[in-house]
Structure 1
């Protein structure tokens, strides 16, 4: 598992780097403006419209496919996949019709502060971008299919064609702004067409075969409903954040987007890589009633996330403005946009580690076919987020909206910890806590040394070069400290590397 996570992490680094380049290009051409606000909301609407359903399907699909394959046959499991894909196409068609018929009122729901030309532009963008859900819907199904077949690398790489097309469309939009919306649809199409050959290679043949009376489909939908509600809670949080931002100031949505996207890079590189590999493994363990194995894998995943995300989080919070200037501070991205985005990024970063914990813990519940508990906890967190959004945005503006999301994310993760422990018993909480404290100490020392280095280097070099060198110095210090402190999961990784190295030497001799 650890070798796969490492390779998957490297692939994700590259794909997330392209995603960051996409956002940098967007900030260069349009900054934090009404155009970027319109574009981002037009993307939010189709993503929200289907990701709610798609997340539920993808989450319930993997345990169900594994169960059918084990108890029945691969042929029946593939038939089940065809039925799910057909159901997705029908659901997408219904959503497209609704959005086309009520585009402007829907836009007003997602961004109540939009008026005039911004509202008109967003509505036109939305009528085009909504067709992308056909492709994104099927991506949910077929990427889950490939994960069951242990084709993790393909699903990690599929974001690359998406980002490449998106980057090109942003550049071409300087000639015609409508290309921004068209590019979003083509980006999803490129992603789907990238993975189809790999799906076919595994022996799967798609046939439109919708059977609403199929017992497996019914059970999947039943299991998906709590996940769908839980996912809708997350989407409602995003909706609330962006609606509040549209009321606070022009460019507020863009600032939140740039900040959350950068945090998403950290999440994608470290958290998604671990959770993607972990989920099929613990789903199989749950099917085989191997709870001890599930606990061990879960513990390793939590420590792994802490090991990677905590230092990244503390580094972001300590160098937030230089990081924003390094990534986005050019073109139309002026000093006002830097200030807005820095504030949002700082407060979003407070909760990033806990968002990772929430992802891992939710997957543990889903593997046990308990989709209700994450839904309930997410609903509680949403209520907290709404209240805090209203209160904190009055005092901290865009930063308050980001802080509200972080606090609600922390609360949700804590509730999931408590609920899971009640369900499966203790899963090495003591070891996790000790490792967590060691990582915090090592990260604090890393930040102190990196800050001292940055202040010294800026006397002789540019801020960007000084920041880059300081990050490298901090990373080296952190690596040395966690090795000296003997972090539990790090030791097992090093031991496995030593064993493999010895085996290769023996084979060579």
Structure 2
């Protein structure tokens, strides 16, 4: 197994642990508060600092890695550490300013994110947000440490950093139910600080040493800012889609924001587990190959990454579509999360799942352009997708009867349009890179997923009639149905001779022969 594959696998395992705990956080919130005004207010408060700084943090990480490599090669280890401290300190200063501004204008910010909130819901959301926004500085420091660890070949710790964060949120949710709902955001605030503190010792093991150094005129900082701006706009555009969705959802029936969130979390579980793991590991590799002008290996890495994502995501998206209701019921329906909340969340999950392949490939293709030091193309395509999402949101919600489903469907369509534009732009930029191979694998995956869907539904209905209802029986039915479908999908792609799968089989055969 290659070093890249091992790193990706290690990050997947770490991400799986973190995502399971994060999913436990959503289950806890759903069980304690259901799809209510309090859960709506808390989710909006959680989203605001994420939207404010995720765009900045992601942009910093994207620009930090290639410039760090360049500085290290030219100025050595000390120059790289100096550059890291400069970025770190400037980010802290910016975050402090943003925190102060956010704390002052919290009511206005909340109204921007949730225009339909009024009365007690608005009061709760304002209080929750003011507490959460104070943690932006810790969020900023976490992003820098994450980028530093990744560029120094440590992918597991950044993958695990959300564990203490999610633990504290769960504690906060449980404590708030017993003490007072106003206790809800404090667990998240403390958790944000622990994300940074969790990573810092490992960064020191990799050689990082903090120094109070700031130089706004540094040439590397100027270069980084030049790369950041288009990335920042592009990421902010994606965040704007979330704002638009939740703003419109706040005007629909109570619990719409929560239902969208729970469905989106299921979607993000897949994205975080597989896509982020692959893109995080492949990005430094692509950057190095681009610098070396190794076109053959560069194109090969693109094809392998895209095909891997397709083979993983397409069957999962199909499975989520056909089993949305039993999945949501099994995972969420307990406590305050009733059948109505299950129905709402399942509908959103179905329409989010349609665009799951778009969400996955968008991240991979974005990293390809960034490794080519082209940050403008993803930004431009992202802006087009944002306007498409807004137009479709209004069309589906206002002029059809889709309502909540329309919001999720619009997001999926905009993601699919984005990857289509990115593929076209990439071919124009670097020429043929293996598009035929990518298309063939996609078609084989879709065909295999279709056969998987038929078998899964047949097994699910058959077992459902035999075992009946009840949590344990439903869990067994769902697990066996998914297992049967996975076997059919795996056998199908083997029969269809997908190159990536044949490569794995050959590697396994080699290991067996050696033993």
Question: For residues 1-12 of structure 1, what are the structure 2 equivalents within 5 Å?
Answer: 1-12=4-15
What secondary structure is seen at the aligned counterpart in 2 of 1:72? helix
- Mark the CA change 1:502 to 1:113 in structure 2 (over 3 Å): closer, same or farther: same
Distance 2:111 2:194 in 1: 30
Partner of 2:506: 495
Q: Is the Cα contact below 8 Å between 1:431 and 1:488 reproduced in 2?
A: no
What secondary structure is seen at the aligned counterpart in 2 of 1:460? helix
Q: Is the Cα contact below 8 Å between 2:396 and 2:407 reproduced in 1?
A: yes
Following TM superposition, by how much is the alpha carbon of 1:166 offset from its aligned partner in structure 2, in angstroms? 1.6
Q: Which moved more, 1:104-113 or 1:488-497?
A: 488-497
Following TM superposition, by how much is the alpha carbon of 1:253 offset from its aligned partner in structure 2, in angstroms? 0.7
Partner of 1:282: 286
Partner of 1:475: 486
Partner of 1:486: 497
Q: Are residue 427 (structure 1) and residue 433 (structure 2) matched?
A: yes
Following TM superposition, by how much is the alpha carbon of 1:120 offset from its aligned partner in structure 2, in angstroms? 0.6
Q: Are residue 245 (structure 1) and residue 226 (structure 2) matched?
A: no
What secondary structure is seen at the aligned counterpart in 2 of 1:248? coil
- Mark the CA change 1:75 to 1:499 in structure 2 (over 3 Å): closer, same or farther: farther
The normalised TM-score by structure 1 is 0.97
1:196-220 superposed Cα distances (whole Å, 9 cap, x missing partner):
1100011111122221000101110
1:456-500 superposed Cα distances (whole Å, 9 cap, x missing partner):
101121333211210111111111211222111112223234334
Question: For residues 317-328 of structure 1, what are the structure 2 equivalents within 5 Å?
Answer: 317-328=321-332
Question: For residues 110-259 of structure 1, what are the structure 2 equivalents within 5 Å?
Answer: 110-174=113-177, 175-259=179-263
Following TM superposition, by how much is the alpha carbon of 1:501 offset from its aligned partner in structure 2, in angstroms? 4.7
Q: Is the Cα contact below 8 Å between 2:10 and 2:155 reproduced in 1?
A: no
Distance 1:272 1:199 in 2: 20
Provide structure 2 residue ranges, at least 5 long, that are not aligned to the other structure. Answer: none
Distance 1:58 1:489 in 2: 29
Q: Are residue 87 (structure 1) and residue 98 (structure 2) matched?
A: no
Partner of 1:344: 348
Partner of 1:376: 380
C-alpha RMSD of matched pairs (Å): 1.2
Q: Which moved more, 1:361-370 or 1:9-18?
A: 9-18
Q: Is the Cα contact below 8 Å between 1:28 and 1:330 reproduced in 2?
A: yes
From 437, 440, 444, the equivalent of 2:443 is 437
Following TM superposition, by how much is the alpha carbon of 1:502 offset from its aligned partner in structure 2, in angstroms? 4.3
Question: For residues 323-472 of structure 1, what are the structure 2 equivalents within 5 Å?
Answer: 323-394=327-398, 395-461=401-467, 462=469, 463-472=474-483
Q: Are residue 20 (structure 1) and residue 23 (structure 2) matched?
A: yes
Distance 1:200 1:6 in 2: 24
Distance 2:349 2:480 in 1: 21
Q: Is the Cα contact below 8 Å between 1:421 and 1:427 reproduced in 2?
A: yes
Following TM superposition, by how much is the alpha carbon of 1:178 offset from its aligned partner in structure 2, in angstroms? 2.2
Q: Which moved more, 1:44-53 or 1:107-116?
A: 44-53
Distance 1:298 1:132 in 2: 37
Distance 2:512 2:280 in 1: 27
Q: Are residue 49 (structure 1) and residue 71 (structure 2) matched?
A: no
Distance 2:269 2:316 in 1: 11
Following TM superposition, by how much is the alpha carbon of 1:228 offset from its aligned partner in structure 2, in angstroms? 0.4
Distance 1:280 1:397 in 2: 41
Distance 1:419 1:45 in 2: 32
Following TM superposition, by how much is the alpha carbon of 1:152 offset from its aligned partner in structure 2, in angstroms? 0.8
Q: Are residue 63 (structure 1) and residue 66 (structure 2) matched?
A: yes
Following TM superposition, by how much is the alpha carbon of 1:195 offset from its aligned partner in structure 2, in angstroms? 0.8
What secondary structure is seen at the aligned counterpart in 1 of 2:214? coil
Distance 2:388 2:476 in 1: 41
Distance 1:35 1:53 in 2: 28
Q: Is the Cα contact below 8 Å between 2:103 and 2:134 reproduced in 1?
A: no
The normalised TM-score by structure 2 is 0.96
Distance 1:75 1:494 in 2: 45
1:155-188 superposed Cα distances (whole Å, 9 cap, x missing partner):
1111222222222221111122222111111111
Following TM superposition, by how much is the alpha carbon of 1:53 offset from its aligned partner in structure 2, in angstroms? 1.1
Following TM superposition, by how much is the alpha carbon of 1:4 offset from its aligned partner in structure 2, in angstroms? 2.5
From 302, 305, 308, the equivalent of 1:304 is 308
Following TM superposition, by how much is the alpha carbon of 1:242 offset from its aligned partner in structure 2, in angstroms? 0.3
What secondary structure is seen at the aligned counterpart in 2 of 1:486? coil
